[in-house]
Amino acid sequence: MQSGSNRILRAMKRKYTRELYADRIERIRSRIPYACIAGDVIAGFPSETKEDFNETVAFLEDLAISYFHVFSYSRRDNTLASKLPENCSPVEKKRRSDRLHDLSFRKKKQFYESNKGREVSVLFESDNKENVMHGFSENYIRVKIPFDPLLVNEIRLVKLIEFDQDMTFAIQKNP
């Protein structure tokens, strides 16, 4: 997605608008209501004003997106963006990035809350950290369970009951 400001999207030379992006998200949600939809957002792109940033935050708050990755803009020589004026100090860029990270966390928490009580298929991975293994559901929800070598690379149906502060659903017994 990069930005929720059409002015900034034009400055980035993107060939889409925030309205088109929102439409695509809604189309996905209408077909796959529990889809995990993530995006990328850049904080502090050259020429980004406080208004542009606030527009992006408001857009993301209303968007049916599950979470997003936040990147602070860093200047690269010989790019079109490097010729644009910097409106954002490093301190302000960090503040904007932190605000977006907080919003992304809240969005992910809402997404996980909306999945509580659902039964989902989980592909379990081979990791074994402190006798715990992890897996991901078909809609990219992370779960953990006591390690069982028989579950490695297996898909099992589990019920999502409660998640922890690390945004991981703990499955009590082996599926």
Domain locations along the chain: 6-115, 119-170
pLDDT (tens digit per residue) in 27-66: 999 999 999 999 999 999 999 999 999 999 999 999 999 9
Confidence of residue 172 (pLDDT cuts 50, 70, 90): low
Confidence of residue 174 (pLDDT cuts 50, 70, 90): low
Asked if pLDDT for residue 97 goes beyond 90, the answer is yes
Task: Give the pair of three-digit tokens for residue 9.
Answer: 């999207």
* Percentage of the chain modeled with pLDDT above 90: 81
Residues 6+ apart with CB under 8 A from 115: 34, 139, 141, 160
Cβ-count burial 32-44 (b if 16+ within 10 Å, e if not): eeeebbebebbbb
pLDDT (tens digit per residue) in 142-170: 999 999 999 999 999 999 999 998 888 88
The CATH fold of domain 6-115: Transcription Regulator spoIIAA (3.30.750)
Task: Give the pair of three-digit tokens for residue 31.
Answer: 């077909």
- Tell me, what's the pLDDT at 80? 74
DSSP state of 144: E
